[in-house]
């Protein structure tokens, strides 16, 4: 049995719009191994959400899968029937969403919601409640038995996000997708959530696909990082490689821009001038070319995501010395 | 030099909930002051109370020497020329059915400045925040988060205020855009001599924009001082926890993280003694006494066991 859990191969996804096809994902390839934490970094509009909804096949009606495969435990998700998909969602793959204030049903108690999520289990209600309380305790909610009777509004934001994590982990999934789970939270709570995730991950050994634009969180939590820009993977690799030896100008600029990176007071912070290109009318060549300070003639052609060394890939002509000197 | 904003013992309660339990701070002309704290610490209430948008039952708010707490709306309105707000949600704070031109020139209409050339002013304001002039015809839904934020800044600047109150000005922005906005605010401050109060929980932002900072816990300042000094040497254990909770963009960073215990206590049942004591990593018996606010060399602290 292979140790690869999720494989994404040359995935391209379009949205049909009035202006033409919006090429939301182009030629995305990466994989997630069993028990691994992979971070996806990218700014607004880079295709993070399209990627998640493609993996779960919860896509908008105007979505068109143009090419590529998404394999989970070797099975092609895109070829599955809706029935098979339903068996997968919430049991083998589960997700924690961004906004903890909106993920719970406000008119049902937390206990009820934790029961509902176990609808596949054959256990008795009492046993299910037992499991629910155990899960709440595992994510650090004090006095879980009493808390089961409470409604979402009786919990703080940080607690609600921990409950969302408890729900997602209830079925002991192989893959947990976490979509910016800490963005809506304070730094102190963010740290709590990350540490909790790390702990649970090592206990249950599930893989996590962690989506964030917060580089600090990614650096702290993830084993590997995939950097996306405007619907394409521009770089991927081991977390240390990405942060210490980035091989794509976008990754480099992104790290430089993070104010957490700049220890002394700066009056002028670095930025990436320009805007993300229109994905309906894609520019020719490298997608980052317009905003790249190091762009040269060769960048009029689209660079491939090349393997630079074991576990480090980047799509940039600068990594081809023969081209830069030509 | 006299302060442009002088807040003394500001108190706000909603029913029994005592949100601000006496907040005092002042901002000098041209200074940027950052108010930092967790959700529920009362930071948004502070600036809303200053602007007269939230009640303040006691205390004093002096703007340019004039007492403005509890002024009736009619008396407050002319002052709003000088005190501008930037709201937290960039797109939500813009009316969806109004063009950018009308959004950013609305303050002129409200203030009855009819002789202004609206088109020219819109152009000038857009240029000020580095947006192209054709944006005047756009509607909020056609703006990205960063652009909407800049429209918010343009609108706040329309009447050439002396003081800007900004609620989480960088929340929800991508890192590359966040830098742009901070640079813009810094530049405008240098050029126009603005004073600013910035509310945020993003400490990375504070370091680069604020001259002084105050740390709010349960509606009270627990530490205040020069930004660099506080980053270099936080004295209050809460400040220390906050600063240490900041994840570093470096996988090999050696973090000396001090975990905060539990959740913020309920405002309905304020703890006795030091209000931070139940979550404090270094609390001792002495903390059952109530710490007083002590100021030494422009550094304020409310702690019996400082670091």
CA dist., res. B123 & res. B82, Å (int): 21
In this complex, the residue of A195, A240, A266 whose CB is nearest that of residue B251 is A240
Rounded to a whole number of angstroms, the distance from the CA of A163 to the nearest CA of chain B is 15
Is A192's CB within 8 Å of B144's CB? no
Residue B214 vs residues A82, B8, B195, B229: alpha-carbon distances, Å: 54, 14, 16, 12
The side-by-side arrangement of strands in the sheet containing A63-72 is A20-33, A4-17, A63-72, A75-76
Token pair in block for residue A193 = 């959530």
Residue B93 · residue B166 · CB < 8 Å: no
CA dist., res. A305 & res. A271, Å (int): 25
B221-245, pLDDT tens digit by residue? 999 999 999 999 999 999 998 888 8
Indicate if the alpha-carbon torsion angle A101, A104, A108, A114 is positive or negative. Answer: negative
Average pLDDT, chain B: 90
Rounded to a whole number of angstroms, the distance from the CA of B246 to the nearest CA of chain A is 6
Q: Helix crossing, A249-257 with B175-192: angle to 10°?
A: 50
A82-91, A298-307, B138-147, B291-300: range with lowest mean pLDDT: B138-147
SS3 A169: helix
Is A159's CB within 8 Å of B38's CB? no
* pLDDT number for residue B261: 76
Q: What pTM does this model have?
A: 0.86
Q: Which of B251, B258, B260, B281 to mutate to test the interface with A (most CBs of A within 10 A)?
A: B251
Chain B residues touching residue A218 (CB < 8 angstroms)? 249
Of A102, A99, A94, A30, give the one whose Cα is nearest residue A68.
A30
Specify the DSSP element, H or E, that contains A137.
Answer: helix A125-138
Confidence category of residue A56, pLDDT binned at 50, 70, 90: very high
Percentage of chain B exceeding pLDDT 90: 53
pLDDT at A275 over 90: no
CA dist., res. A18 & res. A6, Å (int): 33
Percentage of chain B exceeding pLDDT 70: 99
Whether chain B has a CB inside 8 Å of the CB on A191: the answer is: yes
SS3 A304: coil
pLDDT at A1 over 60: no
Mean pLDDT throughout B16-21? Answer: 90
CA dist., res. B150 & res. A56, Å (int): 36
pLDDT at B98 over 60: yes
Is B204's CB within 8 Å of A260's CB? yes
Is A260's CB within 8 Å of B208's CB? no
**ipTM score here?**
0.80
Of A285, A265, A287, A266, give the one whose Cα is nearest residue A276.
A287
In this complex, the residue of B208, B249, B250 whose CB is nearest that of residue A265 is B208
> Bridge-partner residues for A63, per DSSP?
A15
* pLDDT number for residue A186: 77
B108-125, pLDDT tens digit by residue? 988 888 777 889 999 999
Whether chain A has a CB inside 8 Å of the CB on B176: the answer is: yes
SS3 A103: coil
* pLDDT number for residue A325: 64
Percentage of chain A exceeding pLDDT 90: 61
Q: Which of B35, B149, B176, B189 to mutate to test the interface with A (most CBs of A within 10 A)?
A: B176
A12-40, pLDDT tens digit by residue? 999 999 989 999 999 999 999 999 999 99
* DSSP type of residue A283: P
SS3 A48: helix
């Amino acid at each position: 049995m292979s140790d690869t859990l999720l494989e994404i191969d040359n995935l391209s996804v379009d949205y049909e719009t009035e202006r033409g096809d919006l090429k939301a994902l182009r030629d995305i390839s990466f994989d997630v191994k069993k028990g691994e934490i992979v971070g996806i970094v990218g700014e607004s509009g880079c295709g993070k959400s399209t990627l998640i909804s493609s993996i779960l096949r919860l896509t908008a009606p105007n979505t068109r899968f143009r090419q590529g495969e998404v394999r989970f435990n070797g099975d092609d998700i895109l070829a599955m029937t809706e029935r098979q998909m339903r068996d997968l969602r919430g049991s083998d793959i589960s997700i924690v969403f961004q906004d903890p204030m909106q993920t719970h049903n406000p008119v049902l108690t937390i206990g009820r919601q934790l029961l509902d999520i176990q609808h596949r289990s054959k256990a008795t209600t009492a046993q299910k409640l037992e499991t629910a309380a155990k899960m709440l305790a595992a994510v650090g909610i004090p006095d879980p038995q009493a808390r089961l009777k409470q409604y979402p509004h009786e919990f703080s934001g940080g607690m609600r996000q921990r409950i969302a994590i408890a729900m997602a982990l209830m079925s002991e999934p192989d893959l947990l997708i976490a979509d910016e789970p800490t963005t809506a939270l304070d730094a102190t709570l963010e740290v709590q959530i990350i540490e909790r995730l790390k702990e649970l991950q090592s206990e249950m050994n599930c893989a996590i696909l962690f989506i964030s634009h917060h580089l600090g969180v990614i650096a702290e939590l993830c084993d590997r990082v995939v950097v996306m820009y405007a619907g394409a993977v521009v770089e991927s690799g081991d977390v240390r490689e990405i942060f210490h030896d980035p091989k794509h100008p976008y990754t480099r600029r992104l790290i430089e821009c993070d104010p957490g990176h700049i220890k002394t007071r700066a009056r002028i912070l670095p930025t990436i001038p320009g805007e993300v290109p229109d994905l309906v009318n894609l520019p020719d060549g490298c997608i980052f070319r317009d905003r790249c300070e190091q762009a040269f003639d060769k960048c009029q052609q689209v660079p491939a995501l090349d393997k630079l060394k074991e576990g480090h890939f980047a799509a940039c002509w600068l990594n081809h010395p023969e081209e830069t000197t030509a | 030099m006299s302060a442009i904003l002088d807040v003394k013992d500001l108190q706000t309660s909603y029913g029994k909930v005592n949100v601000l339990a006496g907040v005092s701070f002042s901002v000098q002309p041209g200074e940027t002051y950052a108010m930092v704290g967790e959700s529920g610490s009362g930071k948004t209430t502070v600036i809303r109370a200053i602007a007269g948008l939230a009640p303040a039952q006691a205390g004093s708010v002096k703007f340019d020497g004039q007492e403005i707490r509890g002024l009736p709306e009619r008396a407050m309105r002319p002052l709003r020329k000088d005190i501008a707000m930037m709201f937290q949600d960039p797109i939500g704070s813009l009316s969806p059915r109004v063009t950018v031109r009308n959004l950013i020139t609305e303050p002129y209409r409200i203030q009855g400045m009819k002789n202004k050339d609206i088109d020219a002013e819109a152009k000038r304001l857009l240029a000020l925040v580095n947006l192209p002039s054709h944006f005047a015809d756009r509607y909020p839904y056609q703006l990205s988060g960063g652009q909407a934020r800049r429209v918010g800044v343009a609108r706040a600047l329309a009447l050439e205020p002396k003081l800007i109150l900004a609620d989480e000005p960088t929340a929800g922005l991508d890192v590359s855009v966040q830098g742009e906005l901070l640079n813009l605010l810094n530049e405008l401050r240098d050029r126009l001599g603005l004073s600013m109060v910035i509310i945020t929980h993003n400490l990375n932002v504070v370091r680069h924009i604020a001259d002084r900072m105050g740390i709010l816990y349960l509606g009270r300042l627990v530490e205040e001082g020069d930004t660099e000094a506080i980053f270099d040497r936080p004295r209050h254990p809460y400040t220390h926890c906050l600063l240490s909770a900041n994840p570093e963009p470096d996988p090999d960073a050696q973090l000396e993280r001090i975990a905060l215990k539990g959740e913020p206590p309920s405002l309905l049942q304020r703890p006795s003694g030091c209000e931070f004591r139940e979550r404090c990593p270094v609390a001792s018996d002495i903390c059952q006494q109530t710490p007083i606010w002590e100021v030494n060399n422009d550094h304020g602290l409310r702690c019996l066991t400082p670091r």
